[in-house]
Amino acid sequence: MCQVEEDYNGLERNQEKIPVPTFNRKCVKCKEGTAVLIIRVNDAFCRSCFKEYFIHKFRAMLGKNRVIFPQEKVLLAVSGGAASCSMLSQVQEGLSREAPKKLRFVPGILHIDDGGACGRSAEERQRSNALLKSIFTDTGFPYFIVSLEQVFSLPSSVLVPGTSDPDPSNPGYKQAVDQYIKEKQTLTEENVASAVAQLSLEDSPEHKLALERLFSSLKTLTAKEDMLQTLRLHLILHIARENGYSKVMMGDSCSRLAVKLLSNIALGRGAALASDTGFSDARYGDVVIVRPMRDYSSKEIAFYSRMFHVPSVFISGLDTKTHDKASIQRLTESFVTNLQSDFPSTVSTIYRTSEKLHTVMPPQSQTAEPASKCLLCLCTLDTKENKASAFHATLVSEQLSQFKRQDPSVDAPEQCCTEGQGCGSGDCCSSNRLPSHQDLKTLLCYSCSLTIKDMVATNTLPPYITTEAEKRQKRSRMKMEIREYLLEDDEEDGD
Ligand SMILES: [Zn+2]
Ligand SMILES: [Zn+2]
C-alpha cells in the first residue's frame, strides 16, 4: 500500500512542479482552506472538505442502494487493514449523535484470525488480536474475534443457501422506515451499549493441525488464497446466521475490487463476476454481503486513515513477502498497482466495468435448489449451464462410468483414504466414504474445481464440506438411478 502512495506522490510532484506547488493551492470546494491533498488531477481538497467528502461518499453509497433497513443487524467484517477499519470508523461516525443523517442499523464487528493458515506464530496472533480487541472495545459495538480453525466445527448447513423471502415478509424500504419511526420511542441506547465480546480462540490442537494439513495439501499459492477466501466466507456466514445478522459489510475498496475482478477472470470465475464484485451479493439467500467502500480508492483510504488517525493493525497474509508472480492474485495485484501509479484513472475504469456487468448479468437466482449451486462458493453452477458443452459431456460420462462401477446392491467396504494416503485420524475409516476429486468435481463450479484439482488429498477438507458433498452426491446418484430406470421402461414400451 505504501508503495502505491509513494508512486502516486512522485507522479503528482512531477505534474505539479511547474505551475503551483501543492502546498500553495486553495481547496477547490471551499476556495478558502489550503489544499492538503489532491484526489484527482484537479481536485485539491483542504482537510475539512476532504473529511466531509469522505463521509458523504459512504452515506451516499448506502443511501443510493437502500438495502439496509432501519434497526437491521449488520455485521462488519474487519480484517484490521486500512479499508475495513475506515469502514468501521464511518459507521461510528454515522451512528454518533452529532451526525446530520444518522445511520439506523445495529452494527456488530467480526474479525477472522487466519493466522493458522498464513503461518503466523501464536505470539503474533495474540498481539494482533489484542490490538484489534482494544480498537473494537472502543467502538462500544458487540464484536467477535474468531479463529479460522473454527471451520472444522462448522455444520454442513452452512453450504445450503438460506431462504430470504424477498417478497411478503420482508418489508420494503419505506415500510421499514415507517415502522422504525413508530418504534423509535421504545428504542433505547441500550441496544448499542449491551456490547458482548465473544472470542472463540480456544482451538483444539487437532483443529490447528487439521488446518495446517489442509493448507499444506494445496499445491499452489493461487489455490491456497482461493481456499482461504472460501473458508473465511463460510465462517463469516455462519457467525452472521448464528447471531441474527442479515447483512455483512465488507471493506473492499475500488482498487481491491479491480484486482478481484481481473484475477477472477483469470481464475475462471467469469460467471460469478457480478456478484463477486458488485455492491450487494445475495447468493447466500438469508445473509446479504454489501460492499460500501467500493467507491474509494486505496489512496483516499490511506490518506483518510492517516489524517484522521483511524487505528488499524498490520497483519501479514498468505502473500506477504512473496514475489510478484507467486500467485494469480498476487500478479494481478502488482499489475493493478503499477497501472494505478502510471495511469491513475484506469483502475476506476476497471471497477466501473464491474458495475456495468451487474446490470447486464441476471441476478443470482435465490430460489435454486442447493444442488444447482457450487458446493464451495455457492454461485450458480456454470458447469451445468450449457448441457451441450464438452465439459458437461465429460462430466456425465465420468459420472456414469463411476456410477456403474459401484454395484448398488453390494455395500462396498467403506473407504476413507481415497488418495491412497494415510488419513492420520484414528476413527476416520469408520465414518463416511470421503469424496474423491472426481466426486467433488460434479458439485463445483469451474473455478472451484480448479482449486480442488490443486489439492494433494481431498480428505483434508473440513468435515462440513465432505459431509455436504456426500449428501449431494447421494441425491444425484438416486436421481440418475431413477432416470436409468425410466429409460429402460421407455425402451420396453417401445418394443
Ligand atoms: Zn475546503
Ligand atoms: Zn465455486
**Could you report the average pLDDT of every consecutive run of 10 residues in the chain (495 residues)?**
40 38 74 83 86 92 89 95 96 81 90 93 93 95 94 92 56 63 48 44 82 94 93 96 95 90 87 84 91 91 94 88 84 86 79 66 49 87 57 60 50 42 40 63 90 91 94 86 81 60
**Strand 73-77 with 44-45, pairing:** unpaired
- What is the Å distance from ligand 2's center to 475 Cα? 19
Q: Which residues pair with 259 in a beta bridge?
A: none
State whether the Cα torsion 339-326-300-78 is positive or negative: positive
Give the distance (Å) from ligand 2 centre to CA of residue 372.
11
What's the pLDDT at 395? Answer: 61
pLDDT at 234: 96
**CB crowding 228-244: b at 16 or more within 10 Å, else e:** bbbbbbbbbbbbbbeee
- Residue 168's pLDDT is 40
- Closest-CA residue to 376 (of 160, 170, 182): 160
Ligand 2 centre to CA of 380 (Å) is: 8
DSSP run (H or E) holding 247? strand 247-250
The bound ligand whose nearest atom lies closest to the alpha carbon of 51 is 1
The separation between the first and the last C-alpha atoms of the chain, rounded to the nearest angstrom, is: 72
Q: Note the pLDDT of residue 181.
A: 60
Query: From CA 396, how far away is CA 388, in angstroms rounded?
Result: 11
C-alpha cell read off for 172? 420494503
Predicted TM-score (pTM) above 0.85: no
Return the pLDDT at 441. 85
Which ligand neighbours the alpha carbon of 275 most closely? Answer: 2
CA nearest neighbour of 106 among 280, 243, 294, 279: 243
Q: What is the pLDDT of residue 42?
A: 73
- What would the grid cell of residue 267 be? 481464475
Note whether 319 and 330 are within 8 A (CB): yes
- Residues at Cβ < 5 Å from ligand 1 ion: 27, 29-30, 33, 46, 49
pLDDT value at residue 136: 96
- Which residues have C-beta within 8 Å of that of residue 368, sequence separation ≥ 6? 161, 380
Backbone torsions φ then ψ of 458, nearest 5 degrees = -75, -10
Quick check: 131 and 313 in contact, CB under 8 A? yes
pLDDT at 232: 96
